[in-house]
Structure 1
Amino acid sequence: MIKLSEGIMPSIEQRGDYAIIAITKHGVEMARKLQSSFSHSDLYYMSKFERGDEAARGIQMFEGSVRMLFPALFPAYKGLIIIISLGAVIRMIAPLLEDKKKDPGIVVIDDKGENVISVLSGHLGGANELTREVAAALNARAVITTASDVQGTIAVDLFGRRFGWVWESADKLTPVSASVVNEEPVAVVQESGETGWWLYNTPLPENIRVYATVAEAIAAQPKAALVVTHRVLSTDEEEILTNGVLYRPKVLALGVGCNRGTSAEEIEAVIVETLAELQFSLRSVKAICTIDLKKDEEGLLAVVQKYGWAFETYTPEQLNEVSIENPSDTVYKFTGAYAVSEPAAKLYSGASTLALVKKKSGNVTISVAVIPFI
């Protein structure tokens, strides 16, 4: 039982990603059904509605004002599903709001379960998507008011998110979003990355045009731009970012070979130096790939863990099936493969040619591939 007292942070047991909160008889009934549909949720309701199965179902009950529960829930969950009137929710959460990049998604449901409303952090916090899921579970009406969703256009802060794209800076998210929803000329420049980013079964809005290069977009003089590339832009090209957002798609596969015991610091330094020479962004790296003899190499494991990259290994037989430029009898003698970095990068990326065939630096050999998308 959670005892809610003024000025005391309540102790909760957070297990799932989302919290469901109810304070009325009808709300509790709805919340119990909803929890069954959301296995990744925790349920909280007032103890006076106890049924006797709460402990078995992991339901947490509370006594006191629900307002005092929110300071503990806010930092603990990705999203809150609240079956309380909208006005009351706004008053209770207002003192807790920080930033749309930090605040959880807030979804409010009316006591009859007719309307599911996306209230806060609709895009970055995932409230809009959660609203649709909850509405589907309750056979209710999803109420979403963000302009890009209503108009059926690009949500700038979510652009490419499902592919793992990350933006270089959030400074221009708001003004670029304004240009998109106000139907001003907007350029989308895509040099690399997944192409299936348009989510609607309608043509791209007339105010949005796609360009193959930054130079073409600059010549068109758009009011705003969304630039998708793994490249570091030149000084001249940076003009496009005056009112633009730069996105980094995960398209770089790094084939890496190294001597046993090579430190993470040396491996990381070679990677950073090599990408700087190529004028490629570190944020666009997707994976390190190598021979399976290196699957327990501590330096490699430390680097991929630090950056959250994928780590893929291949057998010598798999590597030897790939056409390469410079097979090495010496490498074959020690590994059973005629090369490591070059064929590993090709295997992972599916690219027929590499941005960097092979570079040896100290104890590290590296190859770089750009993953092609059609």
Structure 2
Amino acid sequence: MSIADPARVSLLSLTPGGQELAERIQALWPVKCYCAEKYLKPGFTAFSGSFAATLAEAFARDEAIIVIGACGIVVRTLAPLVQDKLHDPAVLVMDEKGQHVISLLSGHIGGANELACQLAARVGATPVITTATDVNQICAIDVLVKQLGATMVDFREAVKVLNQALVSGEKVGIYFDPRTIAWLDLDLNRLDLRGLTQLKQLSEAGDCDHVLLVSMQQDLGEWSALPNAYHIVPQQLVVGMGCRRDLEPSLMAQIFAELLHERNWHPLALTQFASIDVKHDEPAILQLAQQYYASLSFFSAAQLNDSGWSGPESEFVRKTVGVGAVSQPSAWIISQGCLVGDTVKQQGMTFTFGVKKACYTW
């Protein structure tokens, strides 16, 4: 199995026959198996009081859930817990004879459809997939966005409109910004683009009902001006940073926003900031990462010295924090050596950009 970590997958069986199937699955894929206490045997954990309580715990904790039992009981138990396709785990239901694997919930983003197909192949069952895009053998936009490690403005509504357009036979074009392809080493052959029309020239967009623009850039010129365009933004931009102590957070936010605008980076492309560990409590850095909903990593002086980055260093910085540069080696580490553009030094701040090339998430 490739799309779910076995440590975050629970399998719940309701009958002795279901336990036999669970043992077959566990031999192929070491998931954690649960059953009623009266059926407890080695390799299984007893329900936490009840099937419903155990299923609720797994729903809040796990990446995927497999239930060997009837769909009805699973639906009734989960109904009060379901949030939306962006947050719910994958839920699969199997009959105890192992004839069918039903993708019940979170088929696309949660990965239930793919997991159902993989599990069915392992146990010799038939996968049951009901999502319209899969039935019509066309791509799902939410899955494509996931494959790209990307996001979209108004993601939920955009996906709803675009998936409906595809299954309704409307023409949906897709344009990949050449700069983004180069930065990320995108292999378009690895993407599920079924049903989409790849566009090379703006003139080709004229007869499309909708156009997808895949780019880490904010402004794509005439492409951005299309009235029916949707922007898919790979979240692969990383930033190494350093600053003087007690820098005003509003100043850093202003300078950084201006820098993004100057370099035409889309704010949604940001995924990670990094700095030296002595800055772990620097308000300006903490607030900037929070503002852009990005993760934040800190490295020791030894780690930065051993990063593999080579370039100009500052003796003042070395005397202050034990390493001759902060932003460049920080960005080098989190981008695995894929830096983009020159380092910017301004008003006591230093920023170095990089990209994560390994953006595929399947």
Q: Same fold (TM over 0.5)?
A: yes
Aligned residue number for residue 279 of structure 2: 297
Supply the distance in 1 between the matched residues of 2:111 and 2:253 (Cα, whole angstroms): 33
Aligned residue number for residue 42 of structure 1: 32
Residues 111 and 342 of structure 1, relative CA distance in 2, 3 Å threshold: closer
Residues 330 and 58 of structure 1, relative CA distance in 2, 3 Å threshold: same
- Structure 1 residues 306-331: Cα deviation after superposition (integer angstroms, max 9, x where no partner): 62256676428944x44x7xx86766
Supply the distance in 2 between the matched residues of 1:287 and 1:152 (Cα, whole angstroms): 35
Report the residue type matching 2:93 in the other structure: V
Q: Does 1:308 pair with 2:295?
A: yes
Aligned residue number for residue 104 of structure 1: 89
Q: Does 1:190 pair with 2:181?
A: no
Supply the distance in 2 between the matched residues of 1:46 and 1:154 (Cα, whole angstroms): 40
Supply the distance in 2 between the matched residues of 1:254 and 1:225 (Cα, whole angstroms): 30
Supply the distance in 2 between the matched residues of 1:317 and 1:18 (Cα, whole angstroms): 36
- TM-score (normalizing by structure 1): 0.72
Supply the distance in 1 between the matched residues of 2:84 and 2:227 (Cα, whole angstroms): 23
Supply the distance in 2 between the matched residues of 1:311 and 1:275 (Cα, whole angstroms): 22
Superposition deviation, residue 360 in structure 1: 0.7
Aligned residue number for residue 177 of structure 1: 163
Aligned residue number for residue 27 of structure 1: 18
Superposition deviation, residue 129 in structure 1: 2.5
Which of these residues, 246, 252, 263, is aligned with residue 237 of structure 2?
252
Which of these residues, 141, 148, 159, is aligned with residue 126 of structure 2?
141
Supply the distance in 1 between the matched residues of 2:330 and 2:83 (Cα, whole angstroms): 44
Residues 310 and 129 of structure 1, relative CA distance in 2, 3 Å threshold: farther
Aligned residue number for residue 206 of structure 2: 220
Unaligned runs of 5+ in 1: 1-14
Aligned residue number for residue 360 of structure 1: 346
SS at match of 2:60: coil
Aligned residue number for residue 65 of structure 2: 80
Report the residue type matching 1:209 in the other structure: Q
Superposition deviation, residue 237 in structure 1: 5.2
- Structure 1 residues 153-185: Cα deviation after superposition (integer angstroms, max 9, x where no partner): 322012142442122222111121122334432
Residues 314 and 128 of structure 1, relative CA distance in 2, 3 Å threshold: same
Superposition deviation, residue 103 in structure 1: 2.9
- TM-score (normalizing by structure 2): 0.74
Residues 48 and 369 of structure 1, relative CA distance in 2, 3 Å threshold: closer
Report the residue type matching 1:44 in the other structure: Y
Which structure's CA Rg is the greater one? 1
- Structure 1 residues 21-49: Cα deviation after superposition (integer angstroms, max 9, x where no partner): 2112210121234245444x432222332
What's the Cα RMSD here? Answer: 4.1
Q: 1:341–1:358: 8 Å Cα contact kept in structure 2?
A: no
Number of matched residues?
A: 339
Aligned residue number for residue 3 of structure 2: none
Residues 88 and 199 of structure 1, relative CA distance in 2, 3 Å threshold: farther
Report the residue type matching 1:282 in the other structure: P
Superposition deviation, residue 81 in structure 1: 0.7
Aligned residue number for residue 125 of structure 1: 110
- Structure 1 residues 206-231: Cα deviation after superposition (integer angstroms, max 9, x where no partner): 7512347xx556x5241122222222
Supply the distance in 2 between the matched residues of 1:328 and 1:339 (Cα, whole angstroms): 6
